[in-house]
A and B are shown apart, each in its own frame.
Chain A
Amino acid sequence: MNPLEFTLVILVALVCGMASVLDERQFHRPIIACTLMGLVLGDLQTGIILGGSLELIALGWMNVGAAMAPDAALASTIATIVVIEGHQSIGEGIALAVPLAAAGQVLTIFVRTITVFFQHQADRFARNANFRGVEAMHILGLLLQGLRVAIPTAAVAAVAGTHIVQTWLDAIPEVITSGLQVAGGFIVVVGYAMVINMMKAKALMPFFFLGFVLAAFIPDLNLVGLGIIGACLAVVYVQLNPALHDSIQAPAPVTAGAGNDLDNELE
């Protein structure tokens, strides 16, 4: 890795780390982070493919409320370096990504705790209407989040191409790597489960089963097709659901007596 590549790697990692807390421009998502990393390492193709594979696993990872997702940023940057510079397979990259996501989560918890200190500094600046001071505290917190990913990534990038790392990676027994590949096939459901739980819509679960059964029995349907079916169902459901109408209200019973009569008739 030449000095220019090394600098670019750190820069990409910094951006990914900041994006990971911001959740704004999505540079921390594997599909973007791995692609950028692949680009600066000179192997765009591998970056895109690894990004796509990791994105499948990370599909439902999200920060909701105070709950935090596994960290996709650190996982993506380091996994790409190991695959491209360390000459490993995509499968091994995926296997590595998961422990890295856990490590990244620990690091971000650490930074989010430190930032409490900046919060109190910001209070102090606000009392004097010091706008610049408040902004500085904000940027400092953001920068720490960037460094949280950039520093470990730089450390890995510095040693990834060396023989020691290569032999170490090659020494992983076959049963572990294949077993991790097996698990890679189904750890994706964790993300799906996160999405379903977050929706908190028990009444809408039939649509989940409908999607499952349609995809299971009609393998030719691709995602675009399924998306269109889902959208149509959504529109029809909303149109037919009386609870979601402003104009048409369900007619109220005329009198309490009439309601009782109706009940009696039904019995």
Chain B
Amino acid sequence: MTTHNVSSDQVASYAASDTDARTEANHKAPAQDLTQRDYLSTYFRSTFLLGSFNFERMQAIGFAVTMIPAIKRFYTTKEDQAAALSRHLEFFNTQPWIASPIAGVTAAMERQKAAGEDIDDAAITNVKVGLMGPMAGVGDPIFWGTARPVLAALGASLALSGSILGPLLFFFGLGILRFATRWYGFKIGYQKGVEIVSEVGGNTLRRLTQMASIVGLFVMGSLVSKWTSINVPMELSRYTDQTGKEVVTTVQSVLDSLLPGMLALLLTFLCMWLLRKKVNAIWIIFGMFIIGILGYWAGILAP
């Protein structure tokens, strides 16, 4: 999960102080509003958010590049533009698609600042940084935990029979979801501004996250049983019954009579435990390859 230093309480307090500032500064002339072209440009830029992902400040350049249309629209002097650009080159990291509402809120604050309202640089950064953790907490389970694996599983089950529908279903299904999140997310964030901060902790998003997590976990559970194959054909006993039929008992048949897919379930728990111990997934996969080769060689495992 994304690290964030600023708690949501702090963000809420910034949001509150900002509303005060707005009422005081109502007399100032508003900055120019974003045009349809700006929306399109921001959307297009936001789809490259992670392009220059680096270990120092992660999505920072991508966020600044996303903000450029707004910065150009709101600020006219070179000094203000440089300050805004530098402001958005600070550390940023969240689930990429859900970054769009954050960009929207940030743009709304930049607009107020450009209009002369009393918002200091730290307030904008704090709202931004404070949102990225909670928003990743919403985006990761919904998109990476549920939508993508479920669509990928559906697509793959079609693709295994060679149907082009599989890749198409995955690509367009996820594409529509992604576009909607980015396009409407930015608009809602921009129009609602800092008000949205209080909604992030609200029940609507929590409900959505929980529902996605349930579907995700449910499907993962069924996939563990459906698509994992571990076969242990090792013989335990072999005898001929009264009718003269030979009865062979293998480890697999005993396990299947208890609970089909039990080994897969246990293996999943082992993986979860190893991953929590910070073992790199690639090493776990290599370990399984070695188990597969040795098990096949010793005749314990079969495809």
Contacts and interface: CB of A to CB of B under 8 A. Distances in A.
B85 A134 contact: yes
B251 interface: no
Interface in A166-209: 175-176, 178-201, 204-205, 207-209
A223 B267 contact: no
Interface residues of A, number: 114
A216 interface: yes
A215 interface: yes
Interface stretch (A3-11, A153-161, A230-238, A259-267): A230-238
A137 B276 CA distance: 35
B214 A112 contact: no
A185 B89 contact: no
B144 A227 contact: no
Given A52-B155, A237-B210, A196 B288 contact: no
B6 interface: no
Given A25-B175, A48-B163, A179-B296, A192 B223 contact: yes
B293 A134 contact: no
A223 B230 CA distance: 20
A65 B136 contact: yes
Give the interface centre of B162, B175, B276 by most chain A CB atoms within 10 Å: B162
A212 B272 contact: no
B105 to A, nearest CB: 21
A136 B149 CA distance: 34
A179 B281 CA distance: 19
Contacts of B224: 189, 192, 212, 215
A231 B50 CA distance: 31
Given A35-B167, A234-B215, A48 B227 contact: no
B164 interface: yes
B51 to A, nearest CB: 4
A101 to B, nearest CB: 7
Contact of A210 (B61, B218, B303): B218
A22 B170 contact: no
B184 interface: no
A80 interface: no
Contacts of A128: 78, 82
B114 interface: no
A229 B215 CA distance: 9
A102 B282 contact: yes
**B: interface residue count bin:** 35 or more
B220 A192 contact: yes
Contacts of B268: 189, 192-193, 196
A211 B219 contact: yes
Nearest to A231: B215
A45 interface: yes
Nearest to A193: B271
Contacts of A116: 54-56
A66 B58 contact: yes
B258 to A, nearest CB: 11
A215 B210 contact: no
Contacts of A195: 144-145, 149, 216, 220
A119 B60 contact: yes
Given A23-B96, A185-B231, A193-B268, A233 B218 contact: yes
Given A18-B51, A21-B53, A25-B175, A244 B285 contact: no
Interface string A115-131: 11011001100111101
B2 interface: yes
Nearest to B222: A215
A123 B89 CA distance: 7
B219 A223 contact: yes
Interface string B154-185: 11111111111011001100110010000000
Interface stretch (B12-20, B62-70, B186-194, B239-247): B62-70
B159 A48 contact: yes
Nearest to B171: A32
A179 B286 CA distance: 12
Nearest to A105: B282
Interface in B83-124: 85-86, 89, 93, 96-97
30 contacts: A18-B51, A22-B48, A25-B175, A26-B148, A49-B162, A52-B156, A66-B58, A70-B285, A102-B286, A112-B53, A115-B54, A118-B61, A122-B60, A122-B61, A129-B78, A134-B61, A134-B68, A134-B89, A138-B51, A139-B51, A179-B295, A198-B141, A200-B1, A201-B210, A204-B213, A211-B217, A214-B222, A223-B154, A230-B219, A234-B212
Interface of A: 18, 21-26, 29, 31-32, 35, 44-45, 48-49, 51-53, 55-56, 59-62, 64-66, 69-70, 95, 98, 101-102, 105, 112-116, 118-119, 122-123, 126-129, 131, 134-135, 137-142, 145, 175-176, 178-201, 204-205, 207-217, 221-224, 226-227, 229-231, 233-235, 237-238, 241, 244-246
Given A31-B155, A178-B303, 5 more contacts: A48-B159, A64-B136, A113-B54, A208-B220, A226-B222
